[in-house]
Chains A and B, each alone.
Chain A
């Protein structure tokens, strides 16, 4: 009767194909290119998001940037999807090539206690009550498994790997305030399969990785990511710290996160000070120059290949959960 796809804008120099899809009478989904995981596509999503915000189109209520797509919430009584798509196509054509984008992007530094006692407690409960022979639990934690699956020498090298790259927060969602973060430096791009079955418990602030994506659990909840540490709160309903003055959510899509290693005791003190409003989160406004980043990617390509070879070799012998 009608079609899901409203319009397709073919790829051209410096621009991936754009597919515009119906998502009911109040939403429209825009997708870039093919189903490939490529941060440059996500940068373009942010470029378009900026342009859309500036254009202040009548009838557009909000946008939801994601990896290679953007969901647009509109008022169907004020704008038709056809007219909205026409406007989006004009914006798309006016958008600079992805290499020319400079995106607003905050720098956020978060303390992390690796292989901490809180994540360990929930992992041990998992082994006790859910799966005794889980291959992703070694010495009562997931850290050693993450190291082995990526062909890294030990947990120390895994920790070093996580700390050496910045993490790009591509989008927020599923759960309120849950970030989807990807490594900006391919030399440290670890991957790991998820739990099977999922873990019923995760501590608030638990940090884990599933596939290439790192997440922080905003509240105690079930989860499927392999845990490697715990950080400070990223969600505070009581909005006690000024970082939560607008809403209870710390991180924003487009943030760059860097991890700093601390001890369990230091983390506990830090958490208490932040909750009491006596310490500030380490957040700085900044922008992200895509051209500079693409140049950096070229420079490190050969080194990144070395990690990939180690991973391939390791994955031939390390079991999947």
Chain B
């Protein structure tokens, strides 16, 4: 009842949706997948509830051997998945036998993270109510760390149902080089922290993704902001400084001149402004941004629109799951 890791890759972690909710006031961000859409899609086509613990493979290089027959599904960035060296379809449940080796390569056509869901889920103990790996705190998932060669990852009970599913090819997201990500203005935007011009620039510029990006934060290029004030006063010399406050998950922090999207394992609290906050329906895109290559433009939405987008995305996810006839 296990998956034997032959190669861990750049960073492969166990994740779960919604992650570890309810510990922000103790300094713990929720963790969970960087791309909740592909994560949930992988689970659904593997025959699992959408939030089931599965693997997040960052930038490829992951190989594992199955020790028993299962249905497995890979979704997200195209990492040219193979089984025993033979290509297998992504976004689709695939039956594997004991001894089969699944391999994911470095993505070449855009996207940065793929999800490997196995029917029955990854069976690791819950920590503070979740199986999600929190890389900063070193807990959750598989011993609080990324997988490495030799790890034996336990699987949950799979049941007898061998039905396979796939994700409607028409509805799979395209991972290009330029992204449009929906965000709500604030908490610290114009008129009191940044100028209206700063915010107009923020919502129109195509921001380059810095190479120095990970599960804690995705850095964008620096920019000379005009600022609506000359200093941070008691909080510090720079106008981006504020007295430490709670950071919304997926906030766009401005640290000095540099914007940083605070992601799944980010800091809960800090002394810099957040000019905007990404919305639930859009955060998944951040997980697919290719550092050093992609650009992002932020599209401003209202909270009302954001909630409608999130509901629409959930419907889209469920509607896209199709039953596949026959066995493979």
Q: Which residues of A contact B (CB under 8 A)?
A: 1-5, 21-27, 29, 31, 35-37, 61-71, 73, 76-77, 80-81, 171-178, 180, 219, 237, 247-249, 252-253
Contact = CB atoms under 8 A, between A and B. Distances in A.
B186 A21 contact: yes
Interface string B18-44: 000111111110000000000000000
B26 A24 contact: no
B24 A4 contact: no
B217 interface: no
A31 B304 CA distance: 22
Given A66-B246, A71-B248, A24 B278 contact: yes
Contact of A65 (B25, B27, B144): B25
B185 A22 contact: yes
B248 A23 contact: yes
Contact of B136 (A172, A176, A180, A247): A176
Interface residues of B, number: 56
B246 A249 contact: no
Given A35-B243, A71-B248, A22 B139 contact: no
Given A66-B246, A172-B27, A77 B307 contact: yes
9 contacts: A4-B190, A22-B185, A24-B303, A62-B24, A64-B25, A76-B310, A80-B304, A172-B25, A173-B27
B242 interface: yes
Contacts of B310: 25, 76-77
A23 B251 contact: yes
Given A22-B184, A23-B277, A27-B277, A66 B244 contact: yes
B50 to A, nearest CB: 16
A176 B184 contact: no
B188 interface: yes
B279 interface: yes
A4 B190 CA distance: 7
B21 A25 contact: no
Contacts of B244: 66-67, 171, 173-174, 180
Given A64-B269, A180-B244, A1 B27 contact: no
Contacts of A173: 24-27, 244, 246, 267-270
B299 to A, nearest CB: 10
B300 A24 contact: no
Given A4-B189, A175-B136, 11 more contacts: A5-B192, A23-B187, A26-B280, A70-B246, A173-B244, A174-B268, A174-B270, A176-B136, A177-B27, A248-B137, A252-B26
Interface of B: 21-28, 128, 134, 136-139, 144, 183-190, 192, 232-235, 242-251, 267-270, 274, 277-280, 300-304, 306-307, 310-311
A25 B279 contact: yes
Tell me if A's interface is mostly helix, strand, loop or mixed.
loop
A65 B244 CA distance: 10
Given A4-B188, A23-B248, A76-B307, A248 B280 contact: no
B297 to A, nearest CB: 14
Contacts of A37: 234, 243
A146 B302 CA distance: 48
Going nearest first, the 8 A-B pairs with the smallest beta carbon separation are A4-B186, A173-B269, A24-B277, A71-B246, A64-B246, A25-B306, A27-B248, A23-B248
Contacts of A2: 184-185, 300, 302-303
The winner among A37, A64, A175, A248 for most chain B CB atoms within 10 A is A64
B242 A35 contact: yes
B243 A68 contact: yes
A77 B307 CA distance: 7
B139 to A, nearest CB: 5
A314 to B, nearest CB: 20
A223 to B, nearest CB: 14
A29 B268 contact: no
B184 A36 contact: no
Contacts of B269: 64, 66, 171-174, 180
